[in-house]
Amino acid sequence: MRLKIFASIAIALITMPAAAAWADEYQDTIEVFQEAGESGGFFETAYGYAVFPTIGKGGIGIGGAYGKGRVYAAGTHVGDTSVAQLTIGLQLGGQAYSEIIFFQDKRAFDEFTSGNFEFSAQATAVAITAGASAQATTTGSSAGASAGKRDATTVGSYHKGMAVFTVAKGGLMYEASIGGQKFGYTPK
């Protein structure tokens, strides 16, 4: 009996910090973008935003990326989202990055949350870097790494009602490929 109680307490103590860390993942990512120069100002004026704490990306000739996120309107979590990307072209490596998409107005927000939104291969994202050079676009042209997410700076603006920022988390990928990002949305 004591062993069962001890095991239950041990499991609870082990899983509580993990659950708290997972819950803070979104807030930590939001804070990175709030502190990263110009992207911080978007929180004050944007209708809403979608945040992806980690998008994993890899490829050898054919590549792909996937990540899960949350959608916010007026600072309130209103739904969940996912992103998938398929790229074709010269590419080798793997990387992880965070991404945030700001919606300038209700029209842009509604377009994204329609349930099946897609960025074309021409859409671009501003790479938030702190040291080493990096460039990120949804067309896939990127190479480099960020020295530290807490030292990041940004410059960017809206295009067709949306502004996209990324920050490298790790890895290295050489890429000259074409592809687009496709998003799914589920209301809360």
**66-110 pLDDT tens trace:** 999 999 999 999 999 999 998 888 888 999 999 999 999 999 999
Of 102, 99, 83, 112, the residue nearest 187 (C-alpha): 112
Q: What's the pLDDT at 76?
A: 96
Contacts of 66 (CB under 8 A, 6+ apart): 55, 56, 82, 83, 84, 85
Q: Cα dist. 54→4, 12, 40, 98, 118 in Å? A: 37, 26, 19, 5, 19
Is 131 a residue whose pLDDT tops 60? no
29-50: pLDDT as tens digits? 999 999 987 788 999 999 999 9
| pLDDT for residue 179 | 78
How far does CA 136 lie from the centroid of its chain? 12
Q: How do residues 143-162 score in pLDDT, each as one tens digit?
A: 333 344 444 444 568 888 99
User: DSSP 3-state assignment of 108?
Assistant: helix
Strands in the chain per DSSP E: 48-73, 76-103, 116-119, 126-128, 162-187
Instruction: Read off the pLDDT of each residue in 122-131 and give the average, rounded to a whole number.
Output: 54
The strand pairing partners of 90, in sequence order, are: 176
> Is residue 51 pLDDT above 90, yes or no?
yes
Mean per-residue pLDDT, 107-134: 70
Which carries the bigger pLDDT value, residue 175 or residue 59?
59
